[in-house]
Amino acid sequence: MKSAQPTLAQLAGLLGAELRLAPGASEAQVPSGLNTLQDADVGEVSFLASANYRRFLKNTRACAVLVTSESAEDCPVSALIVSNPYHAFARATAIYQTAPQYAPGIAPSADVHPDAEVHESVHIGPGVVIEADVKVAEDAVIGANSFVGAGSEIGARSRLFPSVTVYHGCYIGADCTVHSNTVIGADGFGFAPHDNKWIKIHQLGGVEIADEVEIGACSCIDRGALGNTVIGRGVKIDNMVQIAHNVQVGDYSAMAACSAVAGSATIGKHCTIAGGVGIVGHVSVADFSHVTARTLVTKSIEESGSYSSGTPFSDSRSWRRNAVRFGQLDQMSRKLRELERKLEHKLHTKGSGSDDI
Amino acid sequence: MKSAQPTLAQLAGLLGAELRLAPGASEAQVPSGLNTLQDADVGEVSFLASANYRRFLKNTRACAVLVTSESAEDCPVSALIVSNPYHAFARATAIYQTAPQYAPGIAPSADVHPDAEVHESVHIGPGVVIEADVKVAEDAVIGANSFVGAGSEIGARSRLFPSVTVYHGCYIGADCTVHSNTVIGADGFGFAPHDNKWIKIHQLGGVEIADEVEIGACSCIDRGALGNTVIGRGVKIDNMVQIAHNVQVGDYSAMAACSAVAGSATIGKHCTIAGGVGIVGHVSVADFSHVTARTLVTKSIEESGSYSSGTPFSDSRSWRRNAVRFGQLDQMSRKLRELERKLEHKLHTKGSGSDDI
Amino acid sequence: MKSAQPTLAQLAGLLGAELRLAPGASEAQVPSGLNTLQDADVGEVSFLASANYRRFLKNTRACAVLVTSESAEDCPVSALIVSNPYHAFARATAIYQTAPQYAPGIAPSADVHPDAEVHESVHIGPGVVIEADVKVAEDAVIGANSFVGAGSEIGARSRLFPSVTVYHGCYIGADCTVHSNTVIGADGFGFAPHDNKWIKIHQLGGVEIADEVEIGACSCIDRGALGNTVIGRGVKIDNMVQIAHNVQVGDYSAMAACSAVAGSATIGKHCTIAGGVGIVGHVSVADFSHVTARTLVTKSIEESGSYSSGTPFSDSRSWRRNAVRFGQLDQMSRKLRELERKLEHKLHTKGSGSDDI
């Protein structure tokens, strides 16, 4: 399933690197893969992307290392000189990636509706279900046992890993990746209270996912109540992320695992939302904001910056002592003001000794 | 797949509304759908459910608006007069819903055990697996690639969206909805510690879900260890909600996304559990309680009310300064009391000047 | 699907218990199952594992009870005397478990690649997809609609429940259990920032799961970026647990539902991680550590112990009053010190009355 791997010289060409061969090395060598400086086996390529790892350079067994020109002289093996070794490493991972590639064709056990438009270059895996009026564009890959509901669209070169569910009326752009067991387009959580019961608000909108979006495993992006839930271009979403109805996520923002956004919230462009963050409904988060792990955002963030909530962790015994005081904070604050007042009074009465209570 | 949509006059009838036609409007017009006041296109019906949106009424392009009789006079287009526009809107969403409807029948690729009792009106999608002794009642819909384990039951008119997993020995009532990739009846997390290892406690109970329950996508409702996990009538559960073994959720309670309830906890009736809430094991929550987003409930809630935990969010710099003080709270509290004591002593010794340390 | 259930005498033998028959009881009786003391029906076996439940012993309807020799004399029915009734109960659950057992064989609708090595004793359910070069060892059970990607391995007697996804190049040991909709080997969340966009870091490692591991439903264990994500022997993982790339979880640790571990973190052996805990990336947690519910671990835990974070919950009104003070904590602390300083000065100036501001 893999194309032939490149020689060192070819790799240099692919990464725009200058190849400085170590004595006795050959540009015709075919590296076997990528690895860290400390773990690389003979034959693997490595990279030096941070000063923290420089100490591993001297003894690396890698056959070549992606380095800056400044670090090249310390490289004991062949150097692949680039301006930004981390970016070059990221691009190199695409060359050495191991995910199986699939040939065009529809598996016999797939169930593709005759009214679906599936480009002939598309791969449809076993057990896949494609409903009526679905469009799947060129070179898309729909993994085994995935489902694409009526009228939905999957853009060119997009890949659904196995068991992805896309409900009806959802749009996924080009060059997207969706990992397994993620659900796109399930109903938003909408119920009107009535006589202590709930009336279902059927969710009439859809989901619109722009190009170059990646979504991890077991995540949910709900369809809009009225109008669409929208994920911008180049957004990266990790595993177990919950995006409620009518949320909008701006271009190139990233959301780490277990973060959750409630209904109709708007996240700006280029935001980084760390793991476990919660964002309540109807608020907005300014472009280029960063929210740290596990923060609960309870009102709009108007200005770009870094935002946090929560308490530090400690041994449980100390924590318990402090946590119980949290429940007395308002009282403590009042006592403090009272003391200030008393002391101030005392000082101003210049030691007169009168009891000021 | 859709039945013909109603005329304005028919819609009024269906919603129990009084239709007051705008000049030149026709009760025979067939609205194309529902939308908000500000987004409605010509031909769509809208609603005014909150004073916050009144300013959009004047310029709406909707062909008709659900309003109260008080607001009807301000309505520039045809008015559908009802006592509660939000409820009428909720009911209208059922009329305009877009979810595909499925005809009775069993897909050829489905695997239905000969000992299963599947009513002839049921739809079984492609790739579905129905094990022995399962019962599926009339008009139920089992979405593609779903699984219903041995001896389980699915009630009348209930719908499983694609890729739902129902383990063996679970009971789902009538008129329920379960969204994709939700798992009902997986083992509760039960292990007895023994010699620093774990002995599995096989989970011998099941799951019992009453009528009119809706469960979102990627949620888990574990089977009981001994006896059943029980979800009451009309309960609404959002995405990624975790219900552990032997939990009981009372009738008509609602749980928002990413909330989690640990083993043997009991949630009362008519509770609203906001997003990300955690409830520890073996506690109970009183009927009509409300728990705010991300709260961790660590002991029983005896009285109906609203409950919260957590800290406010702020810019990370301010937060860090305050969070570090959280770890000094007990010390601060002690200092405060010491100061009170000293000042009190000072005041009572009437400025005698003696050092009271 | 079930083998014949044991008589009381056989049960005693299986559990290493001494059977002390109540008057009129027969060792040939076949108990119908297990239950709690209070819920047991006539014919069921129960257990007394905690002093809290002793009050239920007297009136239990169980036909026999697992008890210690000390409690045996208070047992009104037949006693199964063991040294540790809870362990005996846990072992007994294996005898009475209800999960369907499956015969060897490959379902006709399964799609097994001809280059896969599937032992003849293995059960492959309907709709399962097994890619090239997969190995499935003896007596393994692969549940309906599960997927095992190219080159992955499933150990002997391991069981995947329906709709489990195992990506390519992942290794699952012997005697493991993986519950439905769990995803093993999806890409870790790795992207290099570049010009305000993201370059994908393809995840070249795999996942390595040792023997006797159990993983709940809807959990994710991501593949490593370089090198493997590793789950140690006998680890127990609950539902909706997120394990990021290159995490290592030590032998016999347990992680409750909704806990999450970020990239390259290392959890020691025999740790217990409670529900909803978060562990940030690149930290390590010492062996035998316990982390309480919902704690966020933000730096390494060097010593075994119990660790916590968070605030107590209360009624929302009190909480709000206290929470707002959290944002003033640093200021309060400064004021407190100022007061201490002033009072100290005041005391040392022995009531001189000078204003010390």
pLDDT computed for residue A263 by the predictor:
98
A144 Cβ contact list (under 8 Å, min separation 6): A107, A125, A126, A127, A128, A162, A163, C111, C129, C147
Q: Nearest CB to C179: which of B183, B204, B306?
A: B183
pLDDT computed for residue C344 by the predictor:
83
Please tell me if residue A25 touches chain C, with a CB cutoff of 8 Å. Answer: no
Contact B145 A168 (CB under 8 A): no
Please report which confidence band the pLDDT of residue C342 belongs to, taking 50, 70 and 90 as the band edges: confident
pLDDT by residue (tens digit) across C284-339? 999 999 999 999 999 999 999 999 999 999 999 999 999 999 999 999 999 999 99
- Residues of chain C contacting B298 with CB distance shorter than 8 Å: 293, 312-313
- Residues of chain A contacting B86 with CB distance shorter than 8 Å: 192
Q: Three-class SS of residue A90?
A: helix
| Catalytic residue annotation of A | 245
- Residues of chain A contacting B94 with CB distance shorter than 8 Å: 200, 202
| Partners of B44 in beta bridges | B33
pLDDT computed for residue C3 by the predictor:
59
**Mutate which of C179, C199, C303, C340 to test chain A, going by most A C-beta atoms within 10 A?**
C199
What's the per-residue H, E or C state across B75-127? CCCEEEECCCHHHHHHHHHHHHCCCCCCCCEECCCCEECCCCEECCCCEECCC
pLDDT computed for residue A209 by the predictor:
98
ipTM reported for the complex, 2 dp: 0.94
pLDDT computed for residue C346 by the predictor:
76
- Residues of chain C contacting B342 with CB distance shorter than 8 Å: 343, 347
- Residues of chain B contacting C123 with CB distance shorter than 8 Å: none
Please tell me if residue B167 touches chain A, with a CB cutoff of 8 Å. Answer: no
Instruction: Look at residues C67, C65, C80 and name the one whose alpha carbon lies nearest to residue C17.
Output: C80
pLDDT by residue (tens digit) across C239-288? 999 999 999 999 999 999 999 999 999 999 999 999 999 999 999 999 99
Please tell me if residue C233 touches chain B, with a CB cutoff of 8 Å. Answer: no
Q: Which residue of A has its CA nearest to B310?
A: A310
The DSSP string of A104-132 is SEE-TT-EE-TT-EE-TT-EE-TT-EE-T
Q: Three-class SS of residue C314?
A: strand
The CATH homologous superfamily of the domain defined by B8-96: MurE/MurF, N-terminal domain (3.40.1390.10)
Please tell me if residue A209 touches chain C, with a CB cutoff of 8 Å. Answer: no
CB B142 within 8 A of CB A126: no
Q: Which residue of A has its CA nearest to C217?
A: A218
Please report which confidence band the pLDDT of residue C48 belongs to, taking 50, 70 and 90 as the band edges: very high
| Distance from C-alpha of B113 to C-alpha of C144, rounded to nearest angstrom | 13
Which ranges in chain A belong to alpha helices (H)? 8-15, 69-72, 85-96, 316-326, 329-348
pLDDT at C354 over 70: no
Please tell me if residue B354 touches chain C, with a CB cutoff of 8 Å. Answer: yes
Q: Nearest CB to C226: which of A34, A100, A256?
A: A34
What is the average pLDDT score of chain B?
A: 95
pLDDT computed for residue B355 by the predictor:
44
Please tell me if residue B316 touches chain C, with a CB cutoff of 8 Å. Answer: no
pLDDT computed for residue B348 by the predictor:
74
Please tell me if residue C318 touches chain A, with a CB cutoff of 8 Å. Answer: yes
- The tokens describing B236, both together, are 């609404």
pLDDT at B3 over 80: no
| Distance from C-alpha of C208 to C-alpha of A291, rounded to nearest angstrom | 32
Q: Which chains have at least 3 CB atom pairs separated by less than 8 Å from chain B?
A: A, C
Contact A339 C342 (CB under 8 A): no
Burial class (CB in 10 A: 0-12, 13-18, 19+), C24: exposed
pLDDT computed for residue C350 by the predictor:
56
Rounded mean pLDDT, B63-82: 96
Q: Nearest CB to B126: which of A129, A296, A311?
A: A129
What does the DSSP 8-state code read for residue A270? T
Q: Where are the domains of chain C?
A: 8-96, 322-348
pLDDT at B271 over 70: yes
Residue B354 CA, chain-centre distance (Å), reads: 65
Q: Nearest CB to A278: which of B33, B94, B276?
A: B276
**Mutate which of C113, C179, C181, C183 to test chain A, going by most A C-beta atoms within 10 A?**
C183
| Distance from C-alpha of C201 to C-alpha of C232, rounded to nearest angstrom | 26
Q: One digit per residue, pLDDT tens: chain A, 357 residues?
A: 345 899 999 999 999 999 999 999 999 999 999 999 999 999 999 999 999 999 999 999 999 999 999 999 999 999 999 999 999 999 999 999 989 999 999 999 999 999 999 999 999 999 999 999 999 999 999 999 999 999 999 999 999 999 999 999 999 999 999 999 999 999 999 999 999 999 999 999 999 999 999 999 999 999 999 999 999 999 999 999 999 999 999 999 999 999 999 999 999 999 999 999 999 999 999 999 999 999 999 999 999 999 999 999 999 999 999 999 999 999 999 999 999 898 888 777 655 444 443
| Partners of B148 in beta bridges | B130, B166
pLDDT computed for residue B4 by the predictor:
80
Q: Nearest CB to A311: which of C181, C194, C310?
A: C310
Q: Which chains have at least 3 CB atom pairs separated by less than 8 Å from chain A?
A: B, C
